Each structure stands twice: as structure tokens, then as C-alpha cells.
Amino acid sequence: MTKIGAAVNRAAYRERIAEVLGADAGGVKVPYPVGLRAATVRDARMIGAGLLRLTFAGPELDGFVTHAPTEHVRLIFPDADGTLRLPEQVDHSLKWPRPLPISREYTVRRYDPVAQELDIDFAVHPGGYAAEWAVAATPGTSVHIAGPPGGLIVPFTYDRYLLAGDITALPAIARWLEELPPDAAGWAFIEVVDATEEIDLVAPAGVEVRWLHRGAAAPGTSDLLERAVRAVPIPEGERVYAFIAAEAGVVRPLRRWVREVLRAEPGDADVTAYWKRGQADFDEDEDD
């Protein structure tokens, strides 16, 4: 893609994003040109007791695109024999080799275009392929990053916002809170083990942030999120946007609540299973 072509394309999707943000309607998926970039770890540090933040850097991050709190990228890893099989850039998208290479999806926590830095927060847990890679990574460790393929752009015209998730959704919720307008109102519920996994959050004064301590219960087995969400008093006649992300079994009854109780219209909710107990590289689109 030429520089002129890239500039025209960026102008087109940014115009579409501005249009969605200014509309009195629901969230809309806006596609971006999907890039493939090599980056290296610049810094690694714990954010609370549960998240490991890796800061990636490198000249190929120039022009990286991120506009929405729930955007994700894919980190691509070598096969078991050490072979690195990368997708091919074709116009504005990627053509992936078959069988698919080992990769994992993660939320874009922060991108600094001036410093050309990208932050990704990893939920630290044993047995996770990417989590264990992240724990072992040191400054200079390299990886290829694909995406994001687009973002779910949500207007800031709702009366209230309901954000709920476990620690895997905490990076997205943290970014949501930072990007909401100062006069936004609503609730944010985050399930963690205990106070050691709580982190500093920047939230509008009108958004109630509540940490839910799971304690000794195994991840994905607690009903804390469901009970907290079901207890939310929804004011009559107000438009509420819901973002809920957690383990598949936890999300299932909340998806039903959003549909039957909140009565969310299409575009008024994003309810997503980020992972599933006992299944690696879970893909919600492939789940029965």
C-alpha cells in the first residue's frame, strides 16, 4: 500500500468513526486496515498481583491504529519446531497460512504514537501459552503482532454504561473508564481474587467502580459478576450500554439478562466470552 493510499484509507475510517460517535444510535464495528508488525519488549512490570504489562516498541509500530477500548491484536508465536509462519499482507487484510500458526488474542491497553510504544496486559496464570511466554519475556524479546482488525465504536450518548468482567477483561474496562466523557454515569464491576489484584483506575465521578473478591473459588466458577449485574437498578426510560466479558459459563446467563431484562437493542451491548475453562485459545465464534 502506498503512503497516499494509506492516508486516504485512514481518512475514510476516521470519518466513519466520527460519524458513529456523533450519532444517537448503538455501537458499530468499524474495520481498519489490518497490519502485521514486528516489535520488541521494551519493559515488563506487574500491574497489581494479577496483570503483567509488557511494553512493546519498534519502528514498525509507526502507524498503528487503535480507537476503541475492546480492540484486540494477535501475538504470533513459532511452531513447536521453531518455525515462524506469518500471515501475508494482502491489501488491507492478512492471509493466514494453514494450518494456522500459534497465536493468542489480547486487548490493546495503550498505544503511544510519539514513543511508538504499545502496552498489552497479560493475566498471569499457569498453563497459559502466551501468559507463560510473557512471564519469560525480557527487554529485547521479539514478537509479531497482527491487527487490530477494527474496533467496536460506541457513541458517548448513552445515559449510563454498565461494564463488567473478570481480570481478563480488566484491561478493556480500564481503557473504557479512561475514555468515557467526564460526565458519564454507570457502573463497573471487576472480579478478582482479592485486594492484591485491584489496580488504580481513572473513572468519571458518576461511574461506581466495585471490586468483587472471588477468594479461593477457581477462576470462572463464581457467580459474583452475575449477582452484581442483576442487582443494578436500571432507571426507567434511560438508555444503557453494557460491556460484559469473562469466562464463557459466567457470561452465558448475563447474555440472557441483557436480552430479557435490560432489553438491549442491537448495538446496545457487547457481551463476550473471553475464555473458557479447560480450553486453550478459545474462539467464541466457534463455541456451541
Per residue in 200-257, pLDDT (tens digit) is 999 999 999 999 999 999 999 999 999 999 999 998 999 999 999 999 999 999 999 9
Rounded-to-integer distance, Cα 32 and Cα 204, Å: 28
Rounded-to-integer distance, Cα 110 and Cα 181, Å: 18
> Which residue, 135, 151, 167, sits at the end of a domain?
151
Residue 125, pLDDT > 60, answer: yes
Shared domain for 233 and 170, answered yes or no, is yes
**pTM, whole model, 2 decimals?**
0.93
Tell me: the pLDDT tens digits for 6-43?
A: 544 667 788 888 888 888 889 999 988 899 999 999 99
Residue 5, pLDDT > 80, answer: no
Whether 239 is in a domain gets the answer yes
Rounded-to-integer distance, Cα 252 and Cα 40, Å: 37
Assigned C-alpha cell, 34: 489490518
Query: What integer is the mean pLDDT of 257-286?
Result: 87
Shared domain for 145 and 37, answered yes or no, is yes
188 backbone φψ class: left, alpha, beta (φ>0; ψ -120 to 50): beta
> Which residue, 106, 126, 151, sits at the end of a domain?
151
Shared domain for 202 and 143, answered yes or no, is no
CB 61, CB 97: distance < 8 Å: no
Shared domain for 213 and 175, answered yes or no, is yes
Number of domains into which the chain is organized: 2
Cα 4 to chain center, whole Å?
A: 30
pLDDT at 285: 59
Mean pLDDT across the chain: 92
More confident residue, 278 or 113: 113
pLDDT at 32: 87
Whether 200 is in a domain gets the answer yes
Tell me: the pLDDT tens digits for 135-165?
A: 999 999 999 999 999 999 999 999 999 999 9
pLDDT at 25: 84
CA dihedral 117, 118, 123, 128 (to 10 degrees): -110
CA angle (86, 110, 28) in 5-degree steps: 80
pLDDT at 1: 43
